[in-house]
Copies of this chain bind each other. A is one copy, B any other.
Amino acid sequence: MKIGLLVIGNEILDGKISDLNTKNLANFLKLHHLELSLAITVKDTEEDIHRGLAALFDACDLIITSGGLGPTKDDITKQTLASFLGRSIEYSKQAEKIATNNFQRYEKSFPGKEHGYSFLPHGFLPLNNSTGLAPGFFGEHLGKFVFCAPGVPKEFKTMLEDELIQLIYAKLEHTGFVDSVVIRTKKLPEEKLFGEVDPDLWSKLSKIGEVSSLPVLYGVDIGVKLRASTQEELNSKKAQVLTVIDASPIKPNVWYYGTETIEEVIVELANRKKITFGFAESCTGGLCSHRVTGVSGSGNSFFGSVVSYDVSVKNQILGVKKETLATHGAVSGETANEMAEGLRKNLNVDVAISITGFAGPSGGTPEKPVGTVFIGKSVKEKTEAFRFKFYGDREQLKARFSQLALMTLLEELEKFA
């Protein structure tokens, strides 16, 4: 079954917002051993939506649309889909009931029929939207299926989980099993990993499945997409991938198998081992803490952080000595050490990680140009720092610095019993 997505909305092609629905749909389908084949983003004009629908009807069996179901005049998905299919728009009592319930959930009164929530293309079924106002809808046309959901990422995502999956299993054919093994490596760039360290890796893995390589922060994620006709065959192929990696010289660079983020891996490990930690962040400006606290349950092991952007905060809150700052500078191994140690003692945590560097675009010195970072770690009375150099703009550098800090934290957590 080929599945395609039509993202409708000027905001995305105008650059005002990023499209999150493609990623969410792709991940949702992957969980259910299905794949997204094609995604098209169009402006919300009738001509453009027709063009997108035509391309998707040509290529796919199930067409999912996101966006254009709201109350404003640029929300024309429903009418345009109907005109594309040559159908009329009709009042649906069931759609109105769903919309009325949704308004009640937010303690709002239903604005009435003129908002369009109560109307659907002829023959389409309304679908519940448990996190927003506008109902979604679903229908069949010449043997192909159409599923329409609102564009707000949260609403789109919950409608996939609440409604789409049932429709897929009830109405659509599910052929074969698809799964992926994701091998997460660190420290080496793509060309080194496949070019020097293990030149045969790609072809070995290709014998088992479809290989892809994705350069990520401070490493490469290798994906192997597996297809099988039974669950047993799928499991066997997964085992074959692990055997190839176990025998490969890239093995020491593998830090995880799976699609969890490093912050999820950290929180799971720290909670399981009952280790407390925190960050003394300078150039990352709170990003390490933000990433870790994005994980539910992080409060059991993450105690807190000090974002010491100004030197006065490094000195007064973290206890970095004024002479250290004067002699070695705020961006130095010595300062990183005192930041980490100060944080560990002040917050009374098991592991403290510090980050101080130049994220640019201004700042830096000839000896320590923009991109230079010192990561400190203080664990059980032992404190040390190391230096690293990255390339990139401010946003990239903050991200890379934080990734290195989290990688350092993960290595320390792994050492605990």
Interface residues of A, Cβ cutoff 8 Å to B: 10-20, 22-30, 35-43, 48, 51-52, 55, 59, 70-74, 106, 108, 111, 152, 154, 180, 182, 190-191, 194-195, 202, 206, 210-215, 221, 223, 225, 259, 276, 278-279, 281, 284-290, 292-294, 296-299, 302-310, 312-313, 316-317, 346-348, 359-362, 391-396, 398
Closest to A304 in B: B313
Q: How many copies does the complex hold?
A: 2
Closest to A103 in B: B191
Q: Is B290 within 8 A of A290, CB to CB?
A: yes
Which of chain B's residues have a CB closer than 8 A to the CB of A307?
278-279, 286, 289, 293, 304-307
Which of chain B's residues have a CB closer than 8 A to the CB of A38?
13, 40-43, 48, 51-52
Main secondary structure on chain A at its contact with chain B?
A: mixed
Which of chain B's residues have a CB closer than 8 A to the CB of A59?
51
A-B contact pairs, 16 of them (CB 8 A): A11-B214, A12-B23, A12-B26, A13-B22, A13-B35, A13-B37, A15-B30, A37-B48, A38-B40, A38-B42, A74-B212, A276-B310, A279-B307, A286-B289, A304-B313, A317-B317
Interchain CA distance A347-B182 in the complex, whole Å: 44
Which of chain B's residues have a CB closer than 8 A to the CB of A299?
309-310
Q: Is A317 within 8 A of B294, CB to CB?
A: no
Q: Is A11 within 8 A of B212, CB to CB?
A: yes
Given contacts A18-B18, A38-B42, contact A289 B285 (CB under 8 A): yes
Which of chain B's residues have a CB closer than 8 A to the CB of A154?
392-393, 396
Which of chain B's residues have a CB closer than 8 A to the CB of A22?
12-13, 15, 18-19, 41
Closest to A73 in B: B202
Given contacts A15-B24, A16-B221, A289-B286, contact A306 B317 (CB under 8 A): yes
Q: From the candidates B202, B214, B297, B303, name the one contacting A310 in the complex (CB within 8 A).
A: B303
Closest to A307 in B: B305
Q: Is A312 within 8 A of B347, CB to CB?
A: yes
Q: Is B37 within 8 A of A40, CB to CB?
A: no
Given contacts A294-B398, A304-B308, A307-B307, contact A316 B35 (CB under 8 A): no
Q: Is A285 within 8 A of B296, CB to CB?
A: no
Would you list the 4 A-B pairs with minimal beta carbon distance, nearest first? A285-B293, A15-B26, A286-B289, A286-B286
Q: Is A293 within 8 A of B15, CB to CB?
A: no
Q: Is A223 within 8 A of B14, CB to CB?
A: yes
Interchain CA distance A116-B288 in the complex, whole Å: 38
Q: Is B303 within 8 A of A304, CB to CB?
A: no
